[in-house]
Structure formats: C-alpha cells, structure tokens
Structure 1
C-alpha cells in the first residue's frame, strides 16, 4: 500500500518530477512530466534525458551533468534555472527547472532529480 500511495503522491505533484540514474536513464516520470513534455511515462522510462534536451543544448547539459556527478554537488544548489526543453511533438518550450542530486540510504550518489514547471511569460 505504501508504494502505491507514494506513486499517487508523485503523480499528483503540481510540477514535473524526473529522476535519472547516473547514466542519465530516466527512472521516475510523473503525470505532470507526461503532460508538460508531451511524452507518456511508458515512452520516457528507461530512456536517456536527451528526449527532453534540445540538440543545441546537449553539450552544455552533459558538461554540467558530469561536473555535478563528479563533484557530488550542483552549481545552483537547487535554485531553478530557465531553459529550453524539447517536447515529444518536436517543438520546444521554456521551463524552469531545479536540480538536486539523489543519494541512497547509505549516502551514495545514485542519480539526479529535476523538478520542472512551464516558465511564466
């Protein structure tokens, strides 16, 4: 019951929640992520974060991703940043995203978490 309840809580968040492992493979994709990025959960889970990163921003994204993993710290320390996101229909939109590193119960780094919402105009 607790797992089902947690899944429901994640799906009811007002923001998109994306969790990826250290290889950038998406492990968590909630309902808001589905609607915001126009990509169904079944099409996002086990895929690379590249599905939401515009091609022209990938080099910068991956440099930051690897720097954060290596340092076990994010440059913005959870503060949101406005960036462009690739949508499932091929279009792009601006989103505000905040990133954090994800650790297991023993404190080992296991991935990256992002909270996103559509940017206000």
Structure 2
C-alpha cells in the first residue's frame, strides 16, 4: 500500500481548501474540488485559463509584475510557509478574502516552472473582524 499516494490523492481531492497550480505564464494547470467550491468555476472552466479569473481587476498589474519577477529570478520571498492574505473574486463576482500559502513547482534541474497555492476562504471571519473594529471605533468616539 502506497500511503503517500493515498494521502496525496485525498488532500488534492478535498473540497475544503482550494488547491490551484499555475505554470510559468500564470495559466491554471491544476484546480481541485475546493477551488470549484470557493471560486465557483468548474475544473474544466478553469484549467488552461489565466489566474486573472480569480484576481480582482484592480490588483492584476501588481500581481503580474510580482509573478513575472519571481519567474525571472527563480525565487520568491514567500513560499517558506508564510500565510498570505489577499482578496479574490468568485465567478459570480463576489469578493472573497483569502488566506493562502504558496509552493514553488520546480523541474528536475530545480528550475522554477510555476506555483501551487493552497487557499482558504476567510471572508466571513474577515467581515466579522471588520464589523467589530467599526463598533470599537464608534464606541471610542
């Protein structure tokens, strides 16, 4: 029994967190059931498309400037287990608050060929925190 394979398959097919991978150009090459649930795009709709489908329009230039820079130098300052927080966009236009970690994808000669991201939708928690901050600010006026 190949336990690593069984565990890997279970994690990749889980509907809880989104697991997305993109190639050097930023085109989606992997999209799991969690990504379908969070973003609303079926796997067949997402594979081969740009990450732009989940990046808010106002943030795309900054995202792509950073993505291209990382692909050129082959290293990211993230990817060491850092948890990042960013906004995202669902298929229906809903704005999402996401937390995620990235994993560099490397070829046999250790060259950077893309990234995988493990994402969690924290929109509800983000909204609750924002509402509490507003209440505290109003109370201290």
Instruction: Give the TM-score normalised by structure 2.
Output: 0.76
Between 1:28-37 and 1:67-76, the stretch displaced more is 67-76
Separation in structure 1 between the aligned mates of residue 75 and residue 110 of structure 2, nearest angstrom: 13
Higher strand proportion? 1
| Alignment correspondent of 2:77 | 75
| Alignment correspondent of 1:27 | 29
Task: Note the C-alpha offset of 1:100.
Answer: 2.6
Unaligned runs of 5+ in 1: none
CA contact (8 A) 2:15 2:35 kept: no
User: Does residue 54 of structure 2 align to residue 90 of structure 1?
Assistant: no
Separation in structure 2 between the aligned mates of residue 87 and residue 9 of structure 1, nearest angstrom: 22
Higher RCO (CA-CA < 8 Å; seq separation 6+):
1
Separation in structure 2 between the aligned mates of residue 11 and residue 105 of structure 1, nearest angstrom: 25
| Alignment correspondent of 2:136 | none
| Alignment correspondent of 2:49 | 47
Separation in structure 2 between the aligned mates of residue 94 and residue 9 of structure 1, nearest angstrom: 22
Task: Note the C-alpha offset of 1:13.
Answer: 6.4
Task: Note the C-alpha offset of 1:14.
Answer: 3.6
| Alignment correspondent of 2:117 | 114
Q: SS in structure 2 opposite 1:76?
A: coil
Rg comparison, structure with higher value: 2
| Alignment correspondent of 1:60 | 62
CA contact (8 A) 1:50 1:58 kept: yes
| Alignment correspondent of 1:105 | 108
